[in-house]
Chains A and B, each alone.
Chain A
Amino acid sequence: MSSLADNAASQRSTEGTRLVVIDAARAASWFDWRELWNYRELIWILAARDITVRYRQAVVGVAWVVLQPVAEMVVFSGLFSLLGKRPAGEAVPYTISLLCGLLLWQLFAAIVGSATSCLVDNRPLLTKVYFPRMVLPLAVCLRPLVDFGVGLVVLAGLMAWFHVAPSLALLMMPLVVLATVITALALGLWLSALNAHYRDFGYIVPFLLRIGFFVSPVIYETASLNIPTQWHLLYSLNPMSSLLESFRWSLIGTAGPEVIEVVASLVATILVLVTGAWYFRRVERFLADRI
């Protein structure tokens, strides 16, 4: 029985008790879905804590969540109208296109940011209790999703105000959001593990996110850039560029990304996710000793 068991693998023995084998000579299994599933309650409790802390005082919580994208929306639309330039198509008011970009980017950045620090922030738990460490980056995804939901309500109101009606493509929106969460999580796996090991990642990540904000089509639409064709593929390797374009396409019917761009960013995301999970598992083994 034991020879079948992987490192820290669990299985049901004949009496129904769980057997766990920890063997230094064996490599950690690449990914343990079942164990993660067993700990779903923990993911929920950790996420619920985040959410209740933010929304305990409901009005303040919602105001805080809405304030940031709306303030940025005002600043950027004001800026571009003063410049006399329009970094987006004519079909819908720029404000709406801008808020679409800001909301999705905020979702992405919030997950990446809080995932980066999730291991370091929970050091007291990591050094005292066992649980699959991947629970932590998974749990941080939920609060940004709730914030995003609140933001969507504001966006819906704005769209109604400007009489912008979504098409059937709206049905694809949840898929785009899911892909965004997965992309952020993939990066979060890498960054949380790196931050646990190299503490200066805490300083690097906000800076990288700031650059990402301008490199991705958040405050502009890709179509309004003059990117030479040979650079298109490279540009779409940034998963957020095609995700942001897809999000706008599903909500306000602007031009979506080309298929090749979607494929390229999908490949990039999967690559980051798989390597991220691998690296995370590698770091996880010695996390309590080094964090």
Chain B
Amino acid sequence: MNDVALRVENLAKVFQMGHHLAYHRFTEFIENMAKNVARLPSRLMSSKPAKAKTDANLFWALDDVSFEVQRGEVFGVIGRNGAGKSTLLKLLSRITTPTRGRIEIRGRVGSLLEVGTGFHHELTGRENVFLNGAFLGMTRREIKQKFDAIVAFAEVERFLDTPVKHYSSGMYIRLAFSIAAHLEPEILIVDEVLGVGDAAFQKKSMDVMRDVARRGCTCLIVSHNLPTITNLCTRALLLRSGRLAANGPVDEVVEQYLATGLSLGGEIVWNDPATAPGYDIVRLHAVRVRHTDSLSSTADIGISQEIEIEISYWNLLDQECLSAGFTLRDHVATSVFTTSSMRPVSLTPDAWGGMPHPVGLFRSVCRIPAHTLNEGRYAITPFVGHGLTEPFARAEDVLSFNIHDTGEMRGEYFGHWPGVVRPWLPWSTEQMS
């Protein structure tokens, strides 16, 4: 039976660049009116039509997106930052209205968009439960029936009469999640909140999500955390620059997300040796990242893929002894490691590493084995020079890429995996007595 909970047709949302950021002033409005009135005579005299609004500063956050979600389906939405995921959620949860297109929603929508969404900081935990129920359009009596279950799940009994501004972020999210799950919305929209909390809470919330789905509640999950998506969802859609790039079974969509990076992603190129980073001895030409299954550069790499970092550079001074290298930093700028093509540093002997270079363009490639880095964003600082300490050309954090967890190591755990690196190591245990 065709039982559609959510139907989206040709949905589009346009923002005027800079327009929604700045506050307007009524005085400016008056000023513009006055200017227009002053210009009116000359405009009436000339036969030229009034200048049309330019399209240049319009930004289509979503463009012509159509899809359907069946009742009871757990549906994932993936895409890079700025692909339009949040805009889509805001439209579906009716926070803002579309520029074009149509949305049909069957049933009460509950949304869990961020930590503390719909919470009032001055109110106590107890009052916030009722506030959130009221946001869903529930009556006091309906909320009262669920109250005990909500509090028990969230484990905040002791703090019920404390204003939520004194809550830790963990307590916050537990309460928010508990409310959203227990107030039984018919459609639940979840954004990036499943990855928080400790392991025990993670497991609990995953179970609740499954439960919610089993009860026939339709779920829409947005996450950067691919294991969450692949484990919970049956179908997913992929957004790219506001357009629908894929829509289908979750495995296929995730694969497509990893396979095709943004065209700009994964490389940076300086075409002019006069302005590229460096100076008279050596200049950087390009830095590229790719995984070994792909020939083109990509900023999205699976955790189980081997990574290639390519640094190309111009040597401008004959017989200069050069080696290339880079420092890798994680998203909090912790240095993960520094490596170089120099003889003792490189695992395999590099023919040019630290050797005299003739004038010309060179390319060095470094391979990082699969299962080395943890999931997350990493930034590359490439350098070329005498060894590690005397770079002639260096460019700080010029290129970043993402390592995506595809779930091989995870089993039942979906939360944050601590550590800068995540090597896949052999273990053996034997009974001693």
- Given the known inter-chain contacts A17-B186, A18-B108, A199-B24, please indicate yes or no for A128 contacting B134, CB distance below 8 A: no
Q: Does the CB pair B118–A125 fall under 8 Å? A: yes
Question: Is B255's beta carbon under 8 Å from chain A?
Answer: no
Question: Is A285's beta carbon under 8 Å from chain B?
Answer: yes
- Given the known inter-chain contacts A128-B117, A130-B93, A194-B26, please indicate yes or no for A24 contacting B100, CB distance below 8 A: yes
Pick the contact of B105 from A20, A39, A129, A131 — CB < 8 Å? Answer: A20
Number of contact residues on B: which range applies? 35 or more
Distance of A283 Cα from B28 Cα, bound (Å) = 18
Stretch of B48-56, B125-133, B197-205 on the interface side: B125-133
- Given the known inter-chain contacts A204-B26, A289-B96, please indicate yes or no for A2 contacting B104, CB distance below 8 A: yes
Q: Does the CB pair B94–A128 fall under 8 Å? A: no
Distance of A197 Cα from B26 Cα, bound (Å) = 8
Q: Does the CB pair A200–B25 fall under 8 Å? A: yes
Q: How far is the CB of B321 from chain A (nearest CB, A)?
A: 57
Q: Which of A161-212 contact B (CB under 8 A)?
A: 194, 197-201, 204
Q: Does the CB pair A45–B107 fall under 8 Å? A: no
Distance of A200 Cα from B25 Cα, bound (Å) = 5
Question: Is A286's beta carbon under 8 Å from chain B?
Answer: yes
Collect the chain A residues with CB atoms within 8 Å of residue B20's CB.
289-290
Q: Does the CB pair B25–A198 fall under 8 Å? A: yes
Q: Does the CB pair A53–B140 fall under 8 Å? A: no
Distance of A178 Cα from B290 Cα, bound (Å) = 70
Closest to B97 in A: A285
Q: Does the CB pair B127–A49 fall under 8 Å? A: yes
Q: Does the CB pair A200–B102 fall under 8 Å? A: no
Distance of A125 Cα from B134 Cα, bound (Å) = 13
Number of A interface residues at 8 Å Cβ cutoff, please give it: 41
Q: Does the CB pair B102–A18 fall under 8 Å? A: no
Interface string of B237-254 (1 = CB under 8 A from A): 000000000000000000
Q: Does the CB pair B134–A39 fall under 8 Å? A: yes
Distance of A285 Cα from B105 Cα, bound (Å) = 17
Pick the contact of A129 from B29, B135, B186 — CB < 8 Å? Answer: B135
Q: Does the CB pair B95–A128 fall under 8 Å? A: yes
Q: Does the CB pair B109–A129 fall under 8 Å? A: no
Closest to B99 in A: A24
Q: Which of A66-93 contact B (CB under 8 A)?
A: none
Q: Does the CB pair A41–B97 fall under 8 Å? A: no
Distance of A101 Cα from B214 Cα, bound (Å) = 62
Q: How far is the CB of A57 from chain B (nearest CB, A)?
A: 15
Question: Is B47's beta carbon under 8 Å from chain A?
Answer: no
Q: Does the CB pair B24–A22 fall under 8 Å? A: no
Collect the chain A residues with CB atoms within 8 Å of residue B149's CB.
none
Distance of A199 Cα from B24 Cα, bound (Å) = 6
Question: Is B111's beta carbon under 8 Å from chain A?
Answer: yes
Pick the contact of B106 from A19, A129, A194, A200 — CB < 8 Å? Answer: A19
Q: Does the CB pair A49–B122 fall under 8 Å? A: yes
Question: Is B183's beta carbon under 8 Å from chain A?
Answer: no
- Given the known inter-chain contacts A22-B94, A24-B99, please indicate yes or no for A17 contacting B25, CB distance below 8 A: no
Q: Does the CB pair A200–B130 fall under 8 Å? A: no
Collect the chain A residues with CB atoms within 8 Å of residue B15's CB.
289
Q: Does the CB pair B97–A22 fall under 8 Å? A: yes
Collect the chain A residues with CB atoms within 8 Å of residue B25's CB.
198-200
Interface string of A121-140 (1 = CB under 8 A from B): 00001111111000000000
Q: Which of B67-116 contact A (CB under 8 A)?
A: 90-91, 93-109, 111, 113-114
Question: Is B427's beta carbon under 8 Å from chain A?
Answer: no
Question: Is A23's beta carbon under 8 Å from chain B?
Answer: yes
Question: Is A230's beta carbon under 8 Å from chain B?
Answer: no
- Given the known inter-chain contacts A19-B105, A39-B134, A125-B118, please indicate yes or no for A24 contacting B94, CB distance below 8 A: no
Q: Which of A16-41 contact B (CB under 8 A)?
A: 17-25, 38-39, 41
Collect the chain A residues with CB atoms within 8 Å of residue B94's CB.
8, 20, 22, 130
Q: Which of B1-52 contact A (CB under 8 A)?
A: 12, 15, 19-20, 23-29
Closest to A194 in B: B26
- Given the known inter-chain contacts A41-B140, A199-B23, please indicate yes or no for A17 contacting B102, CB distance below 8 A: no
Question: Is B120's beta carbon under 8 Å from chain A?
Answer: yes
Q: Which of B364-394 contact A (CB under 8 A)?
A: none
Distance of A13 Cα from B26 Cα, bound (Å) = 44
Distance of A125 Cα from B26 Cα, bound (Å) = 24
Collect the chain B residues with CB atoms within 8 Å of residue A200's CB.
25-27
Collect the chain A residues with CB atoms within 8 Å of residue B27's CB.
200
Distance of A147 Cα from B299 Cα, bound (Å) = 60
Pick the contact of B103 from A17, A21, A42, A290 — CB < 8 Å? Answer: A21
Q: Does the CB pair A128–B114 fall under 8 Å? A: yes
Interface string of B204-229 (1 = CB under 8 A from A): 00000000000000000000000000
Question: Is A288's beta carbon under 8 Å from chain B?
Answer: yes
Closest to A38 in B: B137
Closest to B25 in A: A200
Closest to A16 in B: B107
Question: Is B431's beta carbon under 8 Å from chain A?
Answer: no
Q: Does the CB pair A41–B133 fall under 8 Å? A: yes
Distance of A287 Cα from B95 Cα, bound (Å) = 8
Distance of A145 Cα from B95 Cα, bound (Å) = 30
Collect the chain B residues with CB atoms within 8 Å of residue A24's CB.
12, 97-102
Q: Does the CB pair B26–A129 fall under 8 Å? A: no
Q: How far is the CB of A44 from chain B (nearest CB, A)?
A: 8
Question: Is B138's beta carbon under 8 Å from chain A?
Answer: yes
Distance of A287 Cα from B139 Cα, bound (Å) = 26
Q: Could you show 22 A-B contacts with beta carbons less than 8 Å apart?
A: A8-B97, A18-B108, A19-B104, A20-B104, A20-B105, A24-B100, A41-B133, A41-B137, A41-B140, A42-B135, A45-B130, A49-B123, A127-B95, A128-B113, A128-B117, A129-B111, A129-B118, A130-B95, A131-B135, A194-B26, A199-B25, A290-B19
Given contacts A19-B105, A39-B134, A286-B97, 15 further A-B contacts (CB under 8 A): A8-B94, A8-B97, A22-B91, A22-B94, A22-B97, A22-B98, A41-B138, A42-B131, A42-B134, A130-B95, A131-B135, A198-B26, A285-B97, A288-B90, A288-B96
> A-side interface residues toward B, CB under 8 Å?
2, 8, 13, 17-25, 38-39, 41-42, 44-46, 49, 53, 125-131, 194, 197-201, 204, 285-290
> B-side interface residues toward A, CB under 8 Å?
12, 15, 19-20, 23-29, 90-91, 93-109, 111, 113-114, 117-118, 120, 122-123, 127, 130-131, 133-135, 137-140, 186
3 cross-chain pairs, A with B, having the tightest CB-CB distances, nearest first: A198-B26, A42-B134, A130-B94
